[in-house]
Chains A and B, each alone.
Chain A
């Protein structure tokens, strides 16, 4: 479909002063698409220009429409010398190609300059007219939906899952070209941003083609990665799952155009991988364990157009995928789900990693009866986004009705008989729910918690970290050294994870994400997941009770373990069902019962280690360091929970998003420190960073939760470690009715389910309340007061401050309150807007609405408490920000630097804030009001104090959606 792209530049505001003498700016705008450039008139001497330009028209074929970004450049006219650039805007017009879209984009965009950040805003409109075209030899793939989310947005329904799609592009990186030495940093940055934007478009176009060949109409769980290989160039990789989706509302009337009946392509058979993390019901039949593969490669310089480079990298990744596939077959599974790929680059060595969960799936899960499907599907959806989970608090009476489900969910974890005797033996035990079924004693997976699974208590994030110093080196020997390290690191990570999960009294880990990061003199591995206690797997606490300690040794270490586990059981409320589930004869009171004597004694009774190589530990082991490591993990603050999944397992109350946050924490380490100090340092840093995070979040809301927490470790220099944490902060929804039943019925979802499990919830909640009151009565009272006072009014304490308050603030505040009125303000705003020009009045209106309703960004794939009405498109932005005055300038805020800081904090703070602002502007212009599945990857902060420079790279992606 060729099309006509029309762009109109309407107005600008808050432009920077470009002419110091007059303190004004003579701005004009360049609009560029492909090789064609248009210019607006110069609007002289104004910081709030109104151009009201004509429609600039570009006639382009669809291939270009997909590849090229629309480039807008704002400049200051200069009669005698070259025009000064104010900033640029890149607009990806891909979302406009969607059939469902209005093909219009309109709104204020921040003018972004890589050296100065946001410098004013301009208002523009883009329209796209597409012409029908049936050329079968086309290279384009317009109208395919790309969804970053790992689950399908609730406004769609999956009709068919086709399979894995992958593609990558290779190019030279402008930053590392020889010409970079001749041009300004700004020119380089802009060349990079342009290239990255173009590569993103091209990658999506190519993947779209593949999806089309497979007969799908969308890509789910789309992940795009930029590998900056420095001298070797730049690789953009995309993986995803081709699916056929249909809109929920339409589903009954007509099926989608692209029928699912087309036979699955061979590609699917090549790699039965799925990048999603949640699946429609009946798709998953058995869940095995997490599998991963790494390989270390040596990079060579990329030459554009050299097909060899492409082939080499293709073969690298294929090797890795083959290996994963091999693991998968060894586990008697037919698919890998929750699949991700990751690369870590340092100089010329790259570690490629692939990770997923082996599983048995039923690709032909296609619903037979529409109605039944509706029910199940809806349930799937509702559970998914209300965050409410059936906690396994079923009492005797409901067990009966649940039997069928229980069986289903139990089979999910079954270990097939033949596997138990295979080369890689797993430790299996009969399930506590059904002794005839063998289940693993511990389960690690990369996917989200399936919806039908029963679990006990609450979940929590568990993280294992391990680092090893290595000699600096280059070339082959370096690569060889790294690849020798990998198995050790992986082993250590798994050992730690396993034990950490275990001493928390839990038996499964979901959303596992392990990343190995390569630095010049260090290799760091971090594995994070959300641990839960599954009802179907052997319960550690329960078991320990039955084992009841053969050796009543009371070594101090053992006591420490015991008390830690006991604490966890209490904090995560793992006890509740133990009591209900356990044989009724034991009349043990939850609080008084002799707690699990020693979880140590049950740390595996036979030596056979399973695939997740686990080594047993005993109290006599004098590896104190290791024990300390396990035991010194701090638990989340009281009444707060954290997860790296879309939900916080076990939280039944409805939640509201307070906001998405990012935290950057950078520490320096000694170049020649030994492994022990490094490991201690790493642990301390991560813990401290988490503590800081909780502190910040709890300042305003003492009880809050973190979902979708993501940890990113970056080794940017040879002596610094950066920890980037992103996540969603949630608080209990105070506005919503307490009765969760009401909520559910409001959502018009399956009543059958509600009768089974969900009805139990109010009781549970009551129980929870009672329990928390025991210990937290005082606390919660205190917190309420704090919540009120901390928000706005400072309470004067010292005489000095009291005096200050009396003389000015207190008195004046009262006066303001009585006189300030919202109406007058709105009126003033209106007036201000209309000064810009009459033509923008309708947009003003929109702006005003927007102001009252913030644009939300969330890393979760849905909005708590709000339904996704429409998925508008995917957003992929690579943002470069640089400064040549990191140590100080008029931009700097000196009082806000820590004493030992270098001047980078304000720079990062500003970069992150501006990145969010760019995202919001795009979301609004596309007609959305939120960005879901937000993910920031490739965040790097590079700093050169000697040169007084700093650079920050952030790649963000997410789904632009309209929520209601």
Chain B
């Protein structure tokens, strides 16, 4: 008689999930790898050595079978809660879902802002070569994103809340997905080489600022929660005068420099050379202002929106960096710059729009500003 069974199945009334095995499965480990790993974990000396390999192997297979059977339901997490086929404790359900949807930041970073379609999915093998992850693992990450993207695409109401509700995810994870969906929806270009120093978190944080202030997503009653307010973008074109009219430009510059000086007084930076104190501001004002205003006035073109990150990087972050500014100084400049513009009568009528733009952009710049 054969010593190993060809069918070996253990089924209980309550599905008990071994989360160590589950994580291995999520990483697309082979049953043999999982067995070896779990055996290493299990340090119980009292167990019989003999035949352990088989016991672990059959255990892993059973667990993997459960996961395989559960997987279709994980695609519709609300279904998992009220289906009747598998009796799983509430706590386990939550954990199973949030682990299944846990984002691998390294992998997801690679396809941020790309269209979540088949051709991107086909190119996943490049990502998997780059990140040293298994292809199926990358595909699952991608499919998760695409599934959520598709599900919330046509939904009205808050983007984050929709994700949270329909995929039963914790709030922070919902925000991550909201960012992925938002970036993909507007096709933000995140893959330029210059941006490669930015991580997944940077984009999530920036998207969060954008979603919160530029879309109507936070109010519950919108039909297109992901769309950036077109009126706002249209109005933003008028800020062009900040650079196009020389008089205004000069006034703006002076006010900014004055404000910077005041601030420096206040912040007890007096000890340093006062001239140099405003020097930095005056010298960089022209390129920076051109950059900031240039981005703003072009945002109404959807093509320009895609380049938002690369634009602020090239036109603001890089010049500042060349000047050797630290984050605090960048912040100070932007604060003064924003406040100064608001004092100009030409901008005053636009002040809401201007605020909305400059505050968010400032946050984004600071987020991606790295020394």
Chain A residues in the interface with B (C-beta under 8 A) = 13-14, 108, 110, 118, 121, 638, 658-670, 673, 677-678, 680-682, 684-685, 688-689, 691-693, 695-696, 699-700, 702, 721-722, 729, 779, 782-783, 786, 790-795, 797-798, 801, 804, 807-809, 812-813, 815-816, 818-820, 822, 824-825, 828-829, 831-833, 847, 851-852, 854-857, 893, 895-898, 900-902, 904-906, 908-910, 912-914, 916-917, 920-921, 941
User: Does A669 contact B20, Cβ atoms closer than 8 Å?
Assistant: no
Query: Which of A664, A669, A913 lies in contact with B8, CB distance below 8 A?
Result: A664
User: Does B16 contact A700, Cβ atoms closer than 8 Å?
Assistant: yes
B195 part of interface (Cβ distance < 8 Å): no
User: Does B65 contact A916, Cβ atoms closer than 8 Å?
Assistant: no
Considering only residues 62-104 of chain B, those with a C-beta below 8 Å from chain A are: 62, 64-66, 68-69, 78-79, 81-87, 89-90, 94-95, 98-99, 102-104
Considering the chains assembled together, what is the distance between the CA atoms of A941 and B5 in angstroms? Answer: 14
Considering the chains assembled together, what is the distance between the CA atoms of A779 and B47 in angstroms? Answer: 11
Considering the chains assembled together, what is the distance between the CA atoms of A808 and B201 in angstroms? Answer: 12
Which residues on A sit within 8 Å (CB–CB) of B6?
666-668, 898, 900-902, 904
Some 9 contacts from A to B, beta carbons below 8 A apart, are A638-B46, A670-B1, A678-B1, A702-B44, A786-B42, A851-B81, A854-B89, A905-B7, A905-B9
User: Does A893 contact B68, Cβ atoms closer than 8 Å?
Assistant: yes
- Once A793-B19, A794-B41 are accepted as A-B contacts, the answer to whether A908 and B104 lie under 8 Å apart by CB is no
- Once A667-B6, A896-B68, A902-B7 are accepted as A-B contacts, the answer to whether A921 and B18 lie under 8 Å apart by CB is no
Apart from the given pairs A812-B172, A905-B61, 16 other A-B contacts in the complex at a CB distance below 8 Å:
A663-B10, A666-B7, A667-B2, A667-B5, A681-B2, A682-B1, A696-B62, A792-B95, A816-B173, A820-B98, A820-B170, A851-B82, A857-B13, A895-B30, A900-B6, A913-B85
Query: Which of A666, A791, A820, A829 lies in contact with B81, CB distance below 8 A?
Result: A829
User: Does A681 contact B1, Cβ atoms closer than 8 Å?
Assistant: yes
User: Does A916 contact B13, Cβ atoms closer than 8 Å?
Assistant: yes
User: Does A917 contact B46, Cβ atoms closer than 8 Å?
Assistant: no
User: Does B44 contact A782, Cβ atoms closer than 8 Å?
Assistant: yes
Task: Say how far B344's CB is from chain A's closest CB, in angstroms.
Answer: 42
Query: Which of A681, A792, A807, A832 lies in contact with B78, CB distance below 8 A?
Result: A832
Chain B residues in the interface with A (C-beta under 8 A) = 1-16, 18-20, 23-24, 27, 30-31, 37, 40-42, 44-46, 51, 55, 57-59, 61-62, 64-66, 68-69, 78-79, 81-87, 89-90, 94-95, 98-99, 102-106, 164-165, 168, 170-173
Task: Say how far A121's CB is from chain B's closest CB, in angstroms.
Answer: 6
Of the listed residues B9, B37, B81, B99, the one surrounded by the most CB atoms of chain A closer than 10 A to its CB is B9
User: Does B85 contact A816, Cβ atoms closer than 8 Å?
Assistant: no
User: Does B171 contact A820, Cβ atoms closer than 8 Å?
Assistant: yes
Which residue of B has the minimal Cβ distance to A793? B19
Q: Which 5 A-B pairs have the closest CB atoms?
A: A681-B1, A893-B68, A794-B20, A666-B7, A912-B11
- Once A795-B41, A808-B102, A902-B7 are accepted as A-B contacts, the answer to whether A816 and B69 lie under 8 Å apart by CB is no
User: Does A695 contact B55, Cβ atoms closer than 8 Å?
Assistant: yes
Which residues on B sit within 8 Å (CB–CB) of A921?
84
Which residues on B sit within 8 Å (CB–CB) of A917?
84-87
User: Does A828 contact B165, Cβ atoms closer than 8 Å?
Assistant: yes
Task: Say how far A574's CB is from chain B's closest CB, in angstroms.
Answer: 22
Which residue of B has the minimal Cβ distance to A679? B1
Task: Say how far A958's CB is from chain B's closest CB, in angstroms.
Answer: 12
User: Does A909 contact B85, Cβ atoms closer than 8 Å?
Assistant: no
- Once A110-B84, A688-B3, A786-B44 are accepted as A-B contacts, the answer to whether A909 and B78 lie under 8 Å apart by CB is no
- Once A688-B3, A691-B51, A797-B41 are accepted as A-B contacts, the answer to whether A828 and B168 lie under 8 Å apart by CB is yes
Task: Say how far A74's CB is from chain B's closest CB, in angstroms.
Answer: 15
Which residues on A sit within 8 Å (CB–CB) of B40?
797-798
Task: Say how far B74's CB is from chain A's closest CB, in angstroms.
Answer: 14
User: Does B173 contact A912, Cβ atoms closer than 8 Å?
Assistant: no
Which residue of A has the minimal Cβ distance to B81? A829
- Once A661-B12, A700-B16, A910-B69 are accepted as A-B contacts, the answer to whether A816 and B7 lie under 8 Å apart by CB is no
User: Does A815 contact B61, Cβ atoms closer than 8 Å?
Assistant: no
Which residues on B sit within 8 Å (CB–CB) of A688?
3, 5, 51
Task: Say how far B157's CB is from chain A's closest CB, in angstroms.
Answer: 12
Considering the chains assembled together, what is the distance between the CA atoms of A155 and B81 in angstroms? Answer: 33
User: Does B82 contact A669, Cβ atoms closer than 8 Å?
Assistant: no
Task: Say how far A912's CB is from chain B's closest CB, in angstroms.
Answer: 4
User: Does B8 contact A665, Cβ atoms closer than 8 Å?
Assistant: yes
Task: Say how far A819's CB is from chain B's closest CB, in angstroms.
Answer: 4
Which residue of B has the minimal Cβ distance to A702? B44
User: Does A831 contact B103, Cβ atoms closer than 8 Å?
Assistant: no
User: Does A790 contact B18, Cβ atoms closer than 8 Å?
Assistant: yes
Query: Which of B9, B16, B59, B173 lies in contact with A664, CB distance below 8 A?
Result: B9
Which residues on A sit within 8 Å (CB–CB) of B165?
828, 831
Task: Say how far A15's CB is from chain B's closest CB, in angstroms.
Answer: 11
User: Does A668 contact B69, Cβ atoms closer than 8 Å?
Assistant: no
User: Does B12 contact A660, Cβ atoms closer than 8 Å?
Assistant: yes
Which residue of A has the minimal Cβ distance to B31? A895
- Once A667-B1, A786-B44, A851-B90 are accepted as A-B contacts, the answer to whether A906 and B23 lie under 8 Å apart by CB is no
Query: Which of B18, B85, B173 lies in contact with A118, CB distance below 8 A?
Result: B85
Which residues on A sit within 8 Å (CB–CB) of B64?
893, 895-896
User: Does B81 contact A906, Cβ atoms closer than 8 Å?
Assistant: no
Query: Which of A678, A816, A852 lies in contact with B98, CB distance below 8 A?
Result: A816
- Once A692-B55, A820-B170 are accepted as A-B contacts, the answer to whether A825 and B87 lie under 8 Å apart by CB is no
Which residues on B sit within 8 Å (CB–CB) of A658?
14
Task: Say how far B143's CB is from chain A's closest CB, in angstroms.
Answer: 15
Task: Say how far B22's CB is from chain A's closest CB, in angstroms.
Answer: 9
Which residues on B sit within 8 Å (CB–CB) of A692?
8, 10, 55, 58
Query: Which of B13, B20, B83, B89 lies in contact with A856, CB distance below 8 A?
Result: B13
Considering the chains assembled together, what is the distance between the CA atoms of A904 and B103 in angstroms? Answer: 34
Task: Say how far B161's CB is from chain A's closest CB, in angstroms.
Answer: 10
Task: Say how far A656's CB is from chain B's closest CB, in angstroms.
Answer: 12
Task: Say how far B32's CB is from chain A's closest CB, in angstroms.
Answer: 9
User: Does A893 contact B65, Cβ atoms closer than 8 Å?
Assistant: yes
Which residues on B sit within 8 Å (CB–CB) of A121?
83-84
Query: Which of A110, A663, A897 lies in contact with B85, CB distance below 8 A?
Result: A110
Task: Say how far A885's CB is from chain B's closest CB, in angstroms.
Answer: 15
Which residues on B sit within 8 Å (CB–CB) of A909?
9, 11, 62, 65-66, 69
Which residue of A has the minimal Cβ distance to B21? A794
Of the listed residues A783, A901, A909, the one surrounded by the most CB atoms of chain B closer than 10 A to its CB is A909
Of the listed residues B66, B69, B84, B98, the one surrounded by the most CB atoms of chain A closer than 10 A to its CB is B84
User: Does A896 contact B65, Cβ atoms closer than 8 Å?
Assistant: yes
- Once A665-B8, A670-B1, A684-B3 are accepted as A-B contacts, the answer to whether A695 and B20 lie under 8 Å apart by CB is no
Task: Say how far A834's CB is from chain B's closest CB, in angstroms.
Answer: 12
Task: Say how far A488's CB is from chain B's closest CB, in angstroms.
Answer: 20
Which residues on A sit within 8 Å (CB–CB) of B173?
812, 815-816
Which residue of B has the minimal Cβ distance to A912? B11
Task: Say how far B170's CB is from chain A's closest CB, in angstroms.
Answer: 4
Task: Say how far B167's CB is from chain A's closest CB, in angstroms.
Answer: 10
Which residue of A has the minimal Cβ distance to B23? A794
Which residues on B sit within 8 Å (CB–CB) of A729?
12
Considering the chains assembled together, what is the distance between the CA atoms of A664 and B11 in angstroms? Answer: 9
Which residue of B has the minimal Cβ distance to A728? B13
Task: Say how far A316's CB is from chain B's closest CB, in angstroms.
Answer: 33
Which residue of B has the minimal Cβ distance to A797? B40
Considering the chains assembled together, what is the distance between the CA atoms of A795 and B1 in angstroms? Answer: 39
User: Does B1 contact A684, Cβ atoms closer than 8 Å?
Assistant: yes
User: Does B31 contact A896, Cβ atoms closer than 8 Å?
Assistant: yes
Task: Say how far B347's CB is from chain A's closest CB, in angstroms.
Answer: 39
Considering the chains assembled together, what is the distance between the CA atoms of A684 and B2 in angstroms? Answer: 9
Considering the chains assembled together, what is the distance between the CA atoms of A662 and B51 in angstroms? Answer: 21
Which residues on A sit within 8 Å (CB–CB) of B81?
825, 829, 832, 851
- Once A665-B8, A905-B61 are accepted as A-B contacts, the answer to whether A895 and B41 lie under 8 Å apart by CB is no
Considering the chains assembled together, what is the distance between the CA atoms of A689 and B44 in angstroms? Answer: 21
Considering the chains assembled together, what is the distance between the CA atoms of A132 and B69 in angstroms? Answer: 49
Of the listed residues B58, B78, B87, the one surrounded by the most CB atoms of chain A closer than 10 A to its CB is B87
User: Does B1 contact A669, Cβ atoms closer than 8 Å?
Assistant: yes
User: Does A941 contact B69, Cβ atoms closer than 8 Å?
Assistant: no
